[in-house]
Amino acid sequence: MIEEAELQAESARIERLLSEIRDLIPLPAWQRVEDVLRRIIGLYGAGLSRALGHARAVGADAPAFDERLCNDGLLASLLVLHGLHPLSTEDRVRRALGALCTELDLPDGALELVGIDGGVVRLAADGALRAVSGMSRGLAEATIRRVLEMAAPEIASIEITGLPPPRDPTLVQLRPSRHPRSAP
């Protein structure tokens, strides 16, 4: 069985190769390559959908089966790609937020889903995110985005209110010297 790190490395290699091919060939040829890839992915998606249907038809326990699918990173990503994931986008976002809050040891309600509309995820963060984790705005936002984009790559954008304000780049913080100056 291929390990997670190997899957990520393989995914990166595929992206690099596709980028190289795109740069090497004229646009009309690249458009045909994309069309072929889209059709191949569609066929694999149809096959995956049928396999899931057969598993359920022979008695795969839906809640336990779906949970196993959701917890397998490779299968979950393939199911999202083909629109077959057993959890809705909202459910996947809520799960990801819950896991993130647990990982950062944040209290309940520190990061809440306000809503999802037209592919835009709206979140509200309270002061606990800054107080408990000590994260800068940039780090907090990047971490939240990374986690949500992995859980629900189909989302178009993420809006977060309530994050700590960005530091004023013109503000210079002075700290007392550890060593007293000697008088001349």
Q: Which domains does the chain have, with CATH numbers?
A: 4-81 (no CATH), 89-161 (3.30.300.130)
| Mean pLDDT confidence for 148-174 | 78
Question: How high does pLDDT run on average in the chain?
Answer: 84
How far is Cα of residue 117 from the mean position of the Cα atoms in its chain? 17
| CB within 8 Å of 73: residues ≥ 6 apart | 4, 7
Model-wide pTM > 0.75 = no
The single-letter code of the amino acid at 47 is G
Q: How large is the average pLDDT for residues 113-125?
A: 93
In sequence order, what are the residues at sequence separation of 6 or more whose Cβ sits closer than 8 angstroms to the Cβ of residue 109? 126, 128
Q: Which residue has the higher pLDDT, 70 or 29?
A: 29
| pLDDT of the residue at 165 | 67
Average pLDDT over residues 55-65: 86
Is the pLDDT confidence value at 28 over 70? yes
Question: Is the pLDDT reported for residue 184 higher than 60?
Answer: no
Does 18 or 11 have the greater pLDDT score?
18
Residue 143, amino acid:
T
**121 DSSP β-pair partners:** 116, 158
182, pLDDT greater than 80: no
Stretch 117-127: mean pLDDT: 89
Residue 135, pLDDT score:
66
Give pLDDT, residue 11: 85
From CA 55, how far away is CA 61, in angstroms rounded?
9
Question: Helix or strand or coil: residue 157?
Answer: strand
Q: Is 23 exposed, middle or buried (0-12, 13-18, 19+ CB in 10 A)?
A: exposed
Residue 7 has a pLDDT of: 80
